[in-house]
């Protein structure tokens, strides 16, 4: 289902919070990304769904130039502010929808996207587009919210994510990622599932989650089976989450 309006509304209202987000701006995560991608000063980079620009800015420090695209103009405006504050001048910002990129084939040495795939309404098409604009031998880096393999976690954790953010589409488990990647012209270099935490209430506040949805989320967590609960410890001030991280090269 097309969620363009929902994405633009939710992120349009929250763009400033995303610029300040310590989750998206976490220096340890960004350093790990740079270490994995290993960009160089000849690289032409595309950052898909740049949000408030954390990924684009981190990559711009090690690359020739970065094109940062997003569907939400308010997010791009915050990304521009962040890049100016960081003294970065090799990023071009453009409004684009990942499902239909206005970019010719094989343009980029690196295509990166963090914390965004779970919003894409047609993930197979979005991934095909990201591969299409990569040069042969180019690198695709993806980091996104994920869930542990299993029918229950895939269903309930996605329900929780949707209660928190109405533009959420789907967080894929590693087994579902394997299916998504199967038909793409890619060689997987690195794939891992990382356990992490969402701090509360910051995670709710960033998306303006209603009180009733917050309560519903805790109900769902309390009702998880014991096998599933082991993977999802939580408290009043945190929820456990997972991230899927991928580095692949285009064949
Ligand atoms: C959490 S933010 C991204 C964070 C950012 N990549 C980072 O590393 O900090 C998610 C972004 O995805 C964008 N987005 C969602 N659907 C999109 C689409 N179809 N095309 C382009 N951008 C999209 C939203 O506008 C939002 O800015």
The number of the ligand 1 atom at minimal distance from the alpha carbon of 49 is: 22
Q: What is the pLDDT of residue 52?
A: 98
**Whole-number pLDDT of residue 1:** 78
Nearest atom of ligand 1 to the alpha carbon of 98: 20
What is the reported pLDDT for 77? 98
Confidence band for 46, pLDDT divided at 50, 70 and 90:
very high
In this structure, the residue with its CA closest to atom 13 of ligand 1 is 49
Q: Is 232 in the pocket of ligand 1 (CB under 6 A)?
A: no
- What does the pLDDT look like over 26-39, one tens digit per residue? 999 999 999 999 99
DSSP 75: H
Contact 198, 209 (CB under 8 A): no
| 117 Cα: distance to centroid of ligand 1 (angstroms) | 8
168 pLDDT above the threshold of 90: yes
DSSP states along 149-193: SSHHHHHHHHHHHHHH-TT---PPPHHHHHHHHTTSSEEEEEEEE
The CB of 50 under 6 Å from ligand 1? The reply is yes
CB of 51 closer than 6 angstroms to any ligand 1 atom: yes
Q: What stretches of 38-188 show up as alpha helix (H) in DSSP?
A: 54-60, 73-85, 123-132, 151-164, 174-181
Ligand 1: does its nearest atom lie under 6 Å from the Cβ of 206? Answer: no
Rounded distance from Cα 78 to ligand 1 centre (Å): 12
Binding site membership of 224 for ligand 1 (Cβ less than 6 Å)? no
Given pLDDT bands bounded at 50, 70 and 90, which one contains residue 85?
very high
Whether pTM > 0.95 for this model: the answer is yes
72 close to ligand 1 (CB < 6 Angstrom)? yes
For 103, the token pair is: 């970019």
If DSSP codes are grouped into helix, strand and coil, which group holds residue 121?
coil
Find the helix or strand (DSSP H, E) in which 139 lies: strand 134-146
Atom of ligand 1 nearest to the CA of 3: 16
Kindly list the structural domains of the chain, giving each domain's residue range(s) and its CATH number in brackets, ordered by start: 4-146+167-196+243-250 (3.40.50.150)
Report CA(147)–ligand 1 centroid distance (Å): 19
Choosing from 4, 23, 24, 51 the residue with most ligand 1 atoms within 8 A of its CB, the one to mutate for a pocket test is: 51
88 pLDDT more than 90? yes
Pairing of strands 186-199, 238-250: antiparallel
**How distant, in Å, are the alpha carbons of 70, 72, 125, 143, 144 from that of 93?**
8, 11, 22, 21, 21
Residue 137: half-sphere exposure toward Cβ, Cα within 13 Å: 2
pLDDT reading at 236 higher than 90: yes
Q: How far apart are CA 73 and CA 9, in angstroms?
A: 11
Residue 61 pLDDT > 90, yes or no? yes
HSE, side-chain direction, 13 A CA sphere, residue 249: 8
Confidence band for 166, pLDDT divided at 50, 70 and 90: very high
Per-residue pLDDT at 54: 98
């Amino acid at each position: 289902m097309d969620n363009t309006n929902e994405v633009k509304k939710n992120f349009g209202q929250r763009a400033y919070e995303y610029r300040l987000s310590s989750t998206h701006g976490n220096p340890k995560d960004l350093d790990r990304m740079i270490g994995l991608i290993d960009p160089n000063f000849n690289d032409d980079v595309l950052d898909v769904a740049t949000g408030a620009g954390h990924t684009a800015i981190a990559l711009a420090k090690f690359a020739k130039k970065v094109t940062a695209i997003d569907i939400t103009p308010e997010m791009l405006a915050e990304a521009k502010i962040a890049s100016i504050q960081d003294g970065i001048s090799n990023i071009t910002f453009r409004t684009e929808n990942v499902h239909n990129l206005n970019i010719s084939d094989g343009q980029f040495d690196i295509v990166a996207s963090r914390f965004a795939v779970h919003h894409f309404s047609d993930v197979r098409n979005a991934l095909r587009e990201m591969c299409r604009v990569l040069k042969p031998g180019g690198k695709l880096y993806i980091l996104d919210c994920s869930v542990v393999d299993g029918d229950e976690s895939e269903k309930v954790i996605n329900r929780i994510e949707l209660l928190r953010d109405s533009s959420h589409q789907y967080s894929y488990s590693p087994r579902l990622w394997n299916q998504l990647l199967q038909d793409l012209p890619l060689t997987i270099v690195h794939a891992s599932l990382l356990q992490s935490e969402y701090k509360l209430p910051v995670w709710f506040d960033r998306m303006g989650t209603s009180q009733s949805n917050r309560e519903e989320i805790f109900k769902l967590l309390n009702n998880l089976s014991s096998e599933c609960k082991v993977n999802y410890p939580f408290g009043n001030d945190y929820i456990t989450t997972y991230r899927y991280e991928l580095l692949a090269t285009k064949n």
